[in-house]
Amino acid sequence: MSKKFQVIVACGAGIATSTIVVDRVERLLAENNINAEVRQVKIAEAKQLEDSSDLIVSTTILPTTYSIPAIVATAYISGINEEAVDAKILEALQG
Would you please indicate which residues are annotated as catalytic (active-site) residues? 11
CA nearest 25: which of 68, 60, 61, 75?
Answer: 75
57 vs 67: CA distance, rounded Å = 13
Q: Is 52 exposed, middle or buried (0-12, 13-18, 19+ CB in 10 A)?
A: exposed
